[in-house]
Amino acid sequence: MSGQSTVFHLAGRTIAEMDQELLAFLKAKVNTFIKWDLVRFFHENPHTSDTAENIARYAGREATAIAAELADLAESGILVSHPLGNLPIYSLTGDARTLDLIARFVAACDDRQFRVAAIHYIIRSNKR
């Protein structure tokens, strides 16, 4: 399709057919698998407030692998960060609009077609 942005056709659905707000959320904020895991983790554990090392342990990841991703999520408004001594402590934002968007994203991930399209998008976008 010349002249259009990249469109991925997967399982009967294209990225272009996704809810545009969820697509923007995926592109700008949840653009890696680690961020996806962290968004789901904080959605399922909304009262968590902890260091990267402890969050990594709870989420089944290495602290070195998630530290930059946590910082990116805080910078993008998904998480908030505050210092405790020399360590940043991360917790889920309290912003109602962002929490609603996170809930919609996590619910959409239960749909196989959405999930496959989102996975494909992340893989393709991270190859660039």
> What is the rounded distance in angstroms from the CA atom of residue 85 to the CA atom of residue 90?
13
pLDDT grade, residue 15 (50/70/90)? low
pLDDT grade, residue 20 (50/70/90)? confident
> What is the rounded distance in angstroms from the CA atom of residue 17 to the CA atom of residue 96?
25
50-79 pLDDT per residue, tens:
999 999 999 899 999 999 999 999 999 999
Count Cβ atoms below 10 Å from residue 76 Cβ, excluding itself: 16
- How do the domains of the chain map onto residue ranges? 9-126
What is the CATH number that goes with domain 9-126? 1.10.10.10
101-121 pLDDT per residue, tens:
999 999 999 999 889 989 988
